Amino acid sequence: MIPLLSKEANIYISEDLKEDIGKLISTFPKDKIFVLTDEGSHKHCLPKIFPVAGISEDNVLVIPQGDKNKNIETLQKVWHFLSHSGADRKSLLINLGGGMPCDLGGFAASTFKRGIQFINVPTTLLAQVDASIGGKTGVNFEGFKNEIGVFNQASAVLIDTSFFDTLDTPNIVSGYAEMIKHALIYSKEAWDKLTDFDIYSFEKEELKSLVANSIMIKNHFVQNDPTEQFLRKALNFGHTFGHAFESFAMHEGKPVLHGYAVAYGMICELYLSHLRLGFKMADVIEISNMLKRIFGIMPITSDDYEELLRLMTHDKKNEDNRINFTLLEDIGEMQVNINASESEVIAAFEFYRDLCENC
């Protein structure tokens, strides 16, 4: 188990998954360790950590898979499970799975008996580079992404890229969107490394190195601004539009993976960066075409603008009834809390639609 960052960050690269989990849970009472996982991770990932001394199969809760289940009802099931299984304030909850179990499990642990410790063992690319790190926990509420939640850092995050062996291509690609975002907001050097990488055909060791680098980039922003007062807002690049796309697709009954929605959001916010901060149009086009090639395009029409704008007004980053964006002046140079007029937002939608033939 190798610390990826400073010891205080408690993020580790696993060398032997069972042994490393055993070390992390060794200080907890053996009957007070619980595991939360979803159906897919229960089937494909839990066998990688079982058997581990101190974890009983009776203390494993399996919840339904998918972001649509990241809600109050599922949260209540976790609280009920912990309460009726004898969990107390000295208990530990291990969240094993993608972003959904990590987000929901972190919130459940943070609120059960006013807070118990939790460890994230992320199993998807998206969760490893994003959801499991940084202390954001929560659930969706009334159709809005992550509307209810708290900041609370995991006691530890254990990274093992061997979980990707059973991960399908769309979920690998979804996680890659967050890696692209990290590179764009951080430096041209980080960006150049990603542009030479093919997410559809890659060497495992090369991806492992890029994952480690992406985690370090995210942690840079988190450590300097844990509760997202200013600098950490850089990590929201692509997400103001992206969360609107994601919620819209969910309402339409045609859900898209989070990373894909963020990719579509980055296309819109790159164009908005051009309008508001002078980001070079040639770079907007080049990066947008790259994103389209990797992620495709979710079709929208001008009739959808009103609903998308309504969804954007519920974004947690907004202040004083203004929609806030993180935008780029250049690769590695960003500004947060940038406002845009409705006409500028619509212009970004128009640019996005122009990339999509037959939309």
Residue 127, CB-side half-sphere exposure with 13 Å CA sphere: 30
Average pLDDT in the 185-190 region?
A: 96
Helix/strand/coil (H, E, C) string of 1-26? Answer: CEECCCHHHCEEECCCHHHHHHHHHC
Residue 114, CB-side half-sphere exposure with 13 Å CA sphere: 0
Whether 146 is covered by a domain: the verdict is yes
Mean pLDDT for the chain overall? 91
CATH of the domain at 72: 3.40.50.1970
Residue entry with tokens 């697709």: 249
Of 114, 134, 166, the one marking the end of a domain is 166
Whether 204 is covered by a domain: the verdict is yes
Residues 162 and 213 in one domain: no
Binned at pLDDT 50, 70 and 90, residue 351 comes out as very high
Can you spell out the DSSP letters for 162-195? GGGGG--HHHHHHHHHHHHHHHHHH-HHHHHHHH
Q: CA dihedral defined by 269, 273, 274, 280, rounded to 10 degrees?
A: -100
CATH of the domain at 298: 1.20.1090.10
> For 97, phi and psi rounded to 5 degrees?
155, -160
Residues 112 and 13 in one domain: yes
pLDDT at 316 over 60: no
Structurally, how many domains does the chain consist of?
2
| Number of Cβ atoms within 10 Å of the Cβ of 293 | 8
Q: Residue 132 has what pLDDT? A: 87
Residues 41 and 178 in one domain: no
Whole-angstrom Cα distance, residue 75 to residue 50? 25
pLDDT at 323 over 80: yes
Find out whether 204 and 168 touch, Cβ atoms under 8 Å: no
Residues 221 and 237 in one domain: yes
Whether 359 is covered by a domain: the verdict is no
Whether 35 is covered by a domain: the verdict is yes
Residue 32, CB-side half-sphere exposure with 13 Å CA sphere: 15
Q: Which of 47-56, 205-214, 246-255, 257-266 has the highest mean pLDDT?
A: 257-266
Number of residues in the chain:
359
Residues 159 and 190 in one domain: no
Task: Report which of 253, 278, 252 is spatially closest to residue 334, judged by C-alpha positions.
Answer: 278
pLDDT at 2 over 70: no
Whole-angstrom Cα distance, residue 202 to residue 167? 14
Residues 162 and 175 in one domain: no
Sequence-separated (6 or more) residues with CB below 8 Å from residue 144? 247, 311, 314
Q: What is the pLDDT of residues 7-24, one digit of tens each?
A: 556 899 998 999 999 999
| Parent domain of 279 | 171-354
Residues 303 and 220 in one domain: yes
Whether 60 is covered by a domain: the verdict is yes
Residues 211 and 349 in one domain: yes
Find out whether 140 and 146 touch, Cβ atoms under 8 Å: yes
pLDDT at 6 over 70: no
Residues 217 and 348 in one domain: yes
Average pLDDT in the 306-323 region?
A: 77
Residues 180 and 323 in one domain: yes
Of 166, 194, 212, the one marking the end of a domain is 166
